[in-house]
């Protein structure tokens, strides 16, 4: 029977099923690097403060470094009976160096230890998410630059609305991802407080130096309240929220890639490497990667809702319920990184069908607003202009024609002062180029947007 570090209070052994049911080592052992880094800093502080002897501190440090090597080389044996990553490492340390290993846990608890490990893990995951977002943004920028002259219909209510540049459309997703990146940075900033030294909930009566440990572990400062330190999972929740918003944006892009690659749209060709075929229909090219990203969005939402539900009714401070924070966080982190990688490669390899997009942009009366604006420019109130153009569109619908099919004589039936400029406004190319302002879809405006973000990324 494995001896429990907390076994002094108990006469009988833990039930075998209970050991397995309550153990977290099967999933939290991925925290081993952070757990050992935290223990090394804690040990050095204990030695520095003369809470343990310098010789004991040296032996602990050496033992922990050997354990790290053993884990990374696959020589470490994990024991479910020891519950979690912390107790597995501590027990192995004591086996290696004897009673000195038992002193490592002086002035700390698993409660502040696990909070530290998760914060360190999530700081790295926030950085990794930012880099993965950068890669997808690079793919979008490359597509936008490469296909700067491609015109497509923009949509509202999934109805053709106004012509826009394909590049402008892609840059909309760039901006969403830029906000996502900022959220992960903010999350990392708010989590940059070091909880170790808070003990189980009340702190410790040993003369510890929490600022020293915080500095060693690259935290800005120690946490300010020991109770909050061990009961707080806001950093996990905020990370899951950041992941969920990011997945919302990826899912919207996924939906459009699915639509655009369909025969009904035929706007884009997805790279073969990111699609699959049908087991029965030889002609099929299925957009599996976008569909899976769209589907995995619900999974990440579930991770957030799961932890929100766990935390919503917990009294202070630590409760065993909080062990349920790790699997949702790990799952979301892995899922987000996988989705970003898949989309970065897919976007790099996809190709727009420019002629199909342009033909679609010329349909659906997408320059009707341009005609209304033309009338407004000649002194007609917008609401009156809107009504006039609505009547023009109605006539075209009934006759099965598009805006560019209008003649000047027909326009003069609705507005006698119409001239060649009115006809020019009906061209989708003219419509796009007229919107030359910050945030507009004109080629010059989009190129300026791309240039600005390229320069910003170069500086950073």
Fold of 111-195+224-359: Fumarase C; Chain A, domain 2 (1.20.200)
Is 278 annotated in the active site? yes
Q: Which two tokens stand for residue 66?
A: 């050997």
The b-or-e profile of 399-413 (16+ CB within 10 A means b, else e) is eeebbeebeeeebee
Whether 460 is a known active-site residue: answer no
CATH 1.10.40.30 in the chain, residues? 364-459
Rounded to an integer, what distance in angstroms lies between the CA atom of residue 170 and that of residue 147? 10
What's the predicted TM-score (pTM) here?
0.92
| Stretch among 11-20, 248-257, 346-355 having the lowest mean pLDDT | 11-20
Considering the candidates 157, 263, 279, 460, report the single residue annotated as catalytic.
Answer: 157
pLDDT at 284: 80
Domain spanning 364-459, CATH class: mainly alpha
Q: How far apart are CA 377 and CA 262, in angstroms?
A: 40
Per-residue pLDDT at 20 exceeds 70? no
**CA distances from residue 322 to 194, 234, 362 in whole angstroms, order as listed:** 18, 12, 57
- Cα angle for residues 28, 30, 33 (degrees, 5° grid): 115
- In the predicted model, is pLDDT for residue 63 greater than 70? yes
Selecting among 62, 262, 278, 437, the annotated active-site residue is 278
**The pLDDT of residue 161:** 97
Q: In this model, does residue 263 exceed pLDDT 90?
A: yes
The CATH architecture to which 7-106 belongs is: Orthogonal Bundle (1.10)
Sign of the CA dihedral with 208 first, then 200, 119, and 105 last: positive
Q: What is the pLDDT of residues 279-329, one digit of tens each?
A: 888 788 889 999 999 999 999 999 999 999 999 999 998 989 898 899 999
pLDDT for 27: 87
User: Which of these, 236, 209, 196, 250, lies nearest to 35 by C-alpha position?
Assistant: 196
Residues facing residue 152 across a β-bridge: 164
* pLDDT tens per residue, range 328-339: 999 999 999 999
- Kind and range of the H or E element at 351? strand 351-352
**DSSP β-ladder status, 193-194 and 159-165:** unpaired
Region 55-62: mean pLDDT is 98
| Strand 151-156 versus strand 159-165 pairing type | antiparallel
The pLDDT of residue 22 is 59
Query: What is the mean predicted confidence (pLDDT) over 179-190?
Result: 97
H or E segment and range at residue 163 = strand 159-165
Q: What confidence tens digit (pLDDT) does each residue in 404-436 have?
A: 999 999 999 999 999 999 999 999 999 999 999
What's the chain's Rg over C-alpha atoms? 30
* Burial of 391: CB neighbours in 10 Å, binned 0-12, 13-18, 19+: exposed
Residue ranges of the chain that CATH labels 1.20.200.10: 111-195+224-359
Under 8 Å between Cβ of 268 and 257? yes
pLDDT per position as a tens digit, 120-147: 999 999 999 999 999 999 999 999 999 9
Q: What is the pLDDT of residue 1?
A: 43
Opening angle at CA 185, ends 183 and 191, nearest 5:
100
- For residue 41 the two structure tokens come to 């800093």
């Amino acid at each position: 029977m494995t001896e429990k570090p907390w076994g002094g209070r108990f006469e009988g052994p833990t039930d075998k099923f209970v050991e397995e049911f309550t153990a977290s080592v099967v999933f939290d052992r991925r925290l081993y690097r952070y757990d050992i880094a935290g223990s090394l800093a804690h040990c050095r502080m204990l030695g520095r403060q003369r809470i343990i002897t310098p010789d004991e501190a040296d032996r602990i440090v050496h033992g922990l470094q050997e354990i790290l090597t053993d884990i990374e080389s696959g020589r470490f044996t994990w024991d479910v009976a020891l519950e979690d990553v912390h107790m597995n490492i501590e027990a192995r340390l004591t086996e290696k160096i004897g009673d000195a290993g038992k002193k490592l846990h002086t002035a700390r608890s698993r409660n502040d230890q696990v909070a530290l490990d998760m914060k360190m893990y999530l700081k790295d995951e926030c950085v990794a998410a930012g880099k993965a977002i950068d890669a997808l943004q690079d793919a979008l920028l490359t597509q936008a630059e490469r296909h700067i002259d491609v015109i497509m219909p923009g949509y509202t209510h999934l109805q053709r609305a106004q012509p826009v540049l394909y590049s402008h459309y892609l840059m909309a997703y760039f901006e969403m991802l830029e906000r996502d990146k900022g959220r992960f940075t903010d999350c990392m900033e708010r989590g940059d407080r070091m909880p170790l030294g808070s003990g189980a909930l009340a702190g410790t009566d040993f003369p510890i130096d929490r600022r020293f440990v915080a500095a060693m572990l690259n935290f800005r400062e120690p946490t300010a309240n020991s109770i909050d330190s061990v009961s707080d999972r806001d950093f996990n929740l905020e990370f899951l929220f950041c992941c969920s918003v990011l997945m919302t944006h990826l899912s919207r892009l996924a939906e459009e890639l699915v639509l655009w690659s369909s025969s009904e749209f035929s706007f884009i060709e997805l790279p073969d490497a990111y699609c699959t075929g049908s087991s029965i229909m030889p002609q099929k090219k299925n957009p599996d990667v976008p569909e899976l990203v769209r589907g995995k969005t619900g999974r990440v939402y579930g991770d957030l809702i799961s932890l929100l539900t766990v935390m919503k009714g917990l009294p202070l401070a630590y409760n065993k319920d909080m062990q349920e924070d790790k699997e949702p966080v790990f799952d979301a982190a892995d899922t987000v990184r996988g989705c970003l990688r898949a989309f970065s490669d897919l976007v790099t390899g996809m190709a727009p069908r420019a002629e199909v997009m342009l033909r679609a942009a010329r349909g659906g009366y997408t320059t009707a607003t341009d005609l209304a604006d033309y009338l407004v420019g000649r002194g007609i109130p917008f609401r009156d202009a809107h009504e006039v153009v609505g009547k023009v569109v109605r006539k075209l619908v009934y006759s099965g024609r598009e805006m560019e099919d209008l003649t000047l004589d027909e326009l003069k039936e609705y507005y006698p002062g119409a001239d060649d400029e009115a006809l020019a406004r009906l061209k989708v190319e003219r419509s796009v180029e007229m919107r030359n302002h910050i945030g507009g879809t004109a080629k010059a405006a989009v190129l300026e947007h791309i240039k600005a973000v390229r320069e910003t990324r170069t500086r950073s």
